[in-house]
Structure 1
């Protein structure tokens, strides 16, 4: 059972790199038993070795992989729905496979993963779920229509799950990220810095900073907080 001094067992999807890896490192230092999920076996085993945790290979776009992940993970006290996928560009150029992948990884996978794990948390009377979203779920951005919509759906799930599982002691929150420096966003080049410069703080998130916020929402320190979508965007939401 998770307590303020024992974070319990934490499952982190997309935990093989970037923000997921930073969360795994931080929570393992705080005493959590970490389960890392992702598609890359080599990177996943590296994180597992580094954190003393377990790696379970899973592609959230694959329904069978999600079912297998649930079975292999066992009892989970904290679920971090961090895995994400994007295909950026004009709506007219969005491919059907890309659209389907965004819906599957950003929405359908977290839905069925949570639907399987949250009732078990509720039976034990405690648990926390943190969903990783984006500022473009609430703020229109050209070239990000399908991606933003898939994450907006995840934010809607956050509120619904908070209402559904809150009476049993399970908290559900989300973080809406602004520009963040990860292996994936490195390909954006100067575009990342331009987006970050538009925020009041004028800077991009570092993975370790985002991990601190996620760890807080997952912990007993955030016990009164549920159903919240917390902007982690260097103040960008205040500059609409």
Structure 2
């Protein structure tokens, strides 16, 4: 991948595995100094070691964003310190996927989902976006989901949090865009990861034009595009990345 992000700094939350790791890897390969985050120090340090071995610049900060605003603010402080005093690109990717009948989901899980999926993004943005605006440049990428556009049994709580993220994307684009900060979202469909049930995903994707689930590495190029100068006129958009599955359901 070309060095489209040379000299830029990036904080990618929830990035030691899965989609977040793929976005962090792609940004590092494009020349950015990337801070990865996650709860497992062992997994995070291994991810950073792999990136450094490949010749990229990366660091790890342990963070459990289920702790809410204090954890988000600590993460922002530590990331700024590691990145030379500024974060040029913020990727709000950390999230959990609560599934099950509405009546079976308890308040503890409800609160955790909103804290990890929405509150962490809100307060990281509140902390870092004003500094981007003061510099006249910055990028925020939020991870949404195609569940916002369709009804899925068992996904009421998860869908609600992702709808909030996509709404925040538009509001933040209006708020920070005039100061040079671009805010957009990526809405993945069914993507096979280390923890996803690939057999079920393959079945769900048979009607998609692509005919298969997404691969984690396919999100990286889109994230790099949105973070780079080629997307200078892209504000407040949500990019569906689902192999055409949404289109096929219309």
CA distance in 2: counterparts of 1:157 and 1:28, whole angstroms: 26
Q: Which residue of 2 aligns with 1:15?
A: 15
Given the alignment of the two structures, is residue 232 of structure 1 paired with residue 241 of structure 2, yes or no?
A: yes
CA distance in 1: counterparts of 2:187 and 2:172, whole angstroms: 17
Q: Which residue of 2 aligns with 1:195?
A: 204
CA distance in 1: counterparts of 2:239 and 2:29, whole angstroms: 24
Deviation at 1:16, TM superposition (A): 0.3
- Alignment RMSD, CA only? 1.4
Task: Write the mapping of 1:125-164 to structure 2, written as runs, cut at 5 A.
Answer: 125-164=136-175
Q: 2:216 aligns with which of 185, 193, 207?
A: 207
Size of the alignment, in residue pairs?
236
User: Residue 190 and residue 5 in structure 1: after superposition, are their counterparts in 2 closer, same or farther (change >3 A)?
Assistant: closer
Q: Secondary structure at 2:65's aligned position in 1?
A: coil
> Is this contact kept in 1: 2:5–2:228, CA < 8 A?
no
Q: 1:59 aligns with which of 49, 64, 69?
A: 64
**1:53-110: CA deviations, max 9, x gaps?**
1101111111221111011111100011111101211111112221111111111110
Report the TM-score when normalising by structure 2: 0.91
CA distance in 2: counterparts of 1:91 and 1:44, whole angstroms: 33
Deviation at 1:49, TM superposition (A): 1.6
Q: Secondary structure at 1:130's aligned position in 2?
A: strand
Q: Which residue of 2 aligns with 1:90?
A: 101
CA distance in 1: counterparts of 2:111 and 2:182, whole angstroms: 29
> Is this contact kept in 1: 2:184–2:236, CA < 8 A?
yes
> Is this contact kept in 1: 2:96–2:116, CA < 8 A?
yes
Given the alignment of the two structures, is residue 110 of structure 1 paired with residue 139 of structure 2, yes or no?
A: no
Q: Structure 1: any 5+ residue segments left out of the alignment?
A: none
Report the TM-score when normalising by structure 1: 0.94
Deviation at 1:7, TM superposition (A): 5.0
**1:92-145: CA deviations, max 9, x gaps?**
111222111111111111001111001110000000111111100121111101
Q: Structure 2: any 5+ residue segments left out of the alignment?
A: 52-56, 81-85
CA distance in 2: counterparts of 1:12 and 1:108, whole angstroms: 16
Q: Secondary structure at 2:150's aligned position in 1?
A: coil
User: Residue 153 and residue 10 in structure 1: after superposition, are their counterparts in 2 closer, same or farther (change >3 A)?
Assistant: same
CA distance in 2: counterparts of 1:31 and 1:190, whole angstroms: 35
CA distance in 1: counterparts of 2:79 and 2:17, whole angstroms: 19
> Is this contact kept in 2: 1:180–1:207, CA < 8 A?
yes
Q: 1:78 aligns with which of 89, 92, 97?
A: 89
